[in-house]
Amino acid sequence: MNLIYLDNAATTPLSEKALSDMTPYFMTEFGNASSLHQKGRIAKKVVDLARDTIAHSIGARSNEIYFTSGGTESDNWAIRGAIKASKNKVKHIVTSAIEHPAVLNTCQDLEREGVLVTYVYPDKNGVISLESIKKAVNANTVLISIMFANNEIGTIQPISEIGSFCRAEGIVFHTDAVQAMGTMEIDVDKMNIDLLSMSAHKFNGPKGIGVLYIRTGVKIDRFMTGGEQERGKRAGTLATPLIVGMASALKETLENREVNNEKMIRLRDDFINGVQKNIPYVHLNGDRAKRLANNINFSFEFIEGESLLMRLDLDGIAVSSGSACASGSLQASHVIKAIGVSDELAHSTIRFSLGKDTTQEQMNHTLEVLIKNVKVLREMSPLYDSKKKEGKYV
Ligand code: PLP
């Protein structure tokens, strides 16, 4: 069997249609979208069309779509830009403890500059409640930044509820929708979202291109100094081929969303049931129902996530572990720890993230290989052995 790729939350393969749509803009139609001559006008026209497609997909207006280099830049710009634009003397942000590092590290950076930040914790299922956000807000709160769906455990947050609250309180609401875009229905007006980050490579678009949606009237400073592109808000020559590829991939993804979601949910749930039935001492991380169609995240007691990842890799299955490499040592995931999982168990975590092309056959094979490897690794574990001897485990 060919490689089974179950790391679609990290990145997805580029759609063939997107590749063929974007290719001319690398080659014959290479013009700069800011140039006034014919080549420039051709580039501008396709950028505008792409902008329309992306705006339409989230119920926004085209002039509220700003192209960036990806999710990280969009998150940085949203948070730093909103804080910089605020006239408050004391500036306070409410975010969650399970955000992507693009949000968390930005907030931590701002803390060093005197901005106050409250990190709200989710419940044990990884869901952040509106109540906890309300408790964290004070008179100085400028911005609330809560991700649409989590990249590790797939939990979907109550974005509409948070949006209504922010609107009523006059607080700017940013959501990192990098993982949600493509599988979730998003309407920035209905959900009262002011700022939204997305990234093309998570929905079969090219890497290095993203969008920040900025609601008309929301005050946000420019992030970089330079030219007057993107209505003077985001400097830099527009990446025409990547922009075309992003819109093409998004269109294709949304056209097939229902069918693909249905399939992925069935494969996801069968796999979760299969693991729980066949492997003892496993813990599903993240809410069972409020989770992305393509996310499965388990902690396996007595097993080191990286060892399991390597064994699966050798068997031709690509997954991701819950640990992050920080200065040469593996740190347990801040997300898994934030839902109350012990450090030890957090190190035993594996994420399987499905894609539109994942098949039943691949998932059946993955389950088989997983059962085998978990057994082998546990047999090598002295801790498992001693627990067995104590009669606690079979
Ligand atoms: N936010 C979330 C939730 C993500 O999952 C990612 C990527 O993993 C990012 C932001 C960063 O996006 P990019 O890779 O486009 O910079």
In the three-class reduction of DSSP (H, G, I as helix; E, B as strand; rest coil), residue 375 is classed as helix
Question: Predicted confidence band at 360 (pLDDT cuts at 50, 70, 90)?
Answer: very high
Question: Which residues are registered as beta bridge partners of 298?
Answer: 284, 350
Q: Give pLDDT, residue 177.
A: 98
For position 385, what pLDDT does the model report?
80
Question: In this structure, what DSSP letter does residue 241 have?
Answer: H
Mean pLDDT of 313-328: 81
In order, the DSSP letters of 34-94 are T--SHHHHHHHHHHHHHHHHHHHHTT--GGGEEEESSHHHHHHHHHHHHHHH---SS-EEE
Distance between CA 376 and CA 350 in Å, rounded? 16
Q: Is the pLDDT of residue 390 over 90?
A: no
Give the distance (Å) from ligand 1 centre to CA of residue 280: 33
Rg, the chain, Cα only: 22
Residues facing 2 on adjacent strands: none
How large a percentage of the chain has pLDDT more than 90?
93
Residue 387 has pLDDT above 80, yes or no: no
Question: In the numeric block, which tokens belong to residue 50?
Answer: 């792409």
Residue 88 in contact with residue 171, Cβ under 8 Å? no
Segments of 88-242 assigned E as strands:
92-96, 116-120, 141-145, 172-176, 195-199, 210-214
| Average predicted confidence (pLDDT) for the chain | 96
As a whole number, mean pLDDT of residues 5-10 equals: 97
Residues with CB under 6 A from ligand 1: 70-72, 75, 100, 102, 147, 151, 176, 178-179, 199, 210
Query: b/e for 136-150, b at 16 or more Cβ within 10 A?
Result: bbeeebbbbbbbbbb
Q: Is the pLDDT of residue 324 over 90?
A: no
Helix/strand/coil percent split, the chain, to 5: 45, 15, 40
CA distance 122 to 237: 40
C-alpha 270/C-alpha 365 separation (Å) is 13
Task: Report CA 231 to chain centroid distance, whole Å.
Answer: 27
202 CA distance to ligand 1 middle (Å):
8
SS3 283: strand
pLDDT given for residue 383 in this prediction: 82
Nearest residue by C-alpha to atom 13 in ligand 1: 71
User: Which residue has a Cα nearest atom 8 of ligand 1?
Assistant: 10
In a 3-state reduction of DSSP, which class is residue 344? Answer: helix
pLDDT at residue number 326: 53
* Paired tokens of 306: 């990286």
pLDDT of the residue at 246: 98
Q: Quick one: which of 156, 158, 166 has its CA closest to 134?
A: 166
CA distance 43 to 25: 8
Give residue-wise pLDDT tens across range 170-189: 999 999 999 999 999 999 99
* CA atoms lying within 13 Å on the CB side of residue 189: 8
pLDDT, tens digit (0-9, with 9 covering 90-100), for 187-239: 999 999 999 999 999 999 999 999 999 999 999 999 899 999 999 999 999 99
Q: Is 325 a catalytic residue?
A: yes
Angle formed at CA 219 by CA 215 and CA 224, multiple of 5 degrees: 100
Please determine, for residue 248, whether its predicted confidence score (pLDDT) is greater than 80.
Answer: yes
- Residue 392 confidence (pLDDT): 60
Q: What is the mean pLDDT of residues 231-250?
A: 97
Q: How far is the CA of 11 from the centre of ligand 1 (A)?
A: 9
**pLDDT over 70 at 391, yes or no:** no
pLDDT in tens, 81-134: 999 999 999 999 999 999 999 999 999 999 999 999 999 999 999 999 999 999
| pLDDT reading at 145 higher than 70 | yes
The whole-model pTM stands at 0.96
Residue with tokens 């985001």: 234
Which pLDDT does position 1 carry in this prediction? Answer: 73
| Ligand 1 atom with the shortest distance to the CA of 72 | 16
Secondary structure element (H or E) that encloses residue 350, with its range = strand 349-353
Q: In this predicted structure, what is the pLDDT of residue 325? A: 57
> Please, which pLDDT band fits residue 329 given cuts at 50, 70 and 90?
low
**Which one is catalytic: 90, 325, 376, 383?**
325
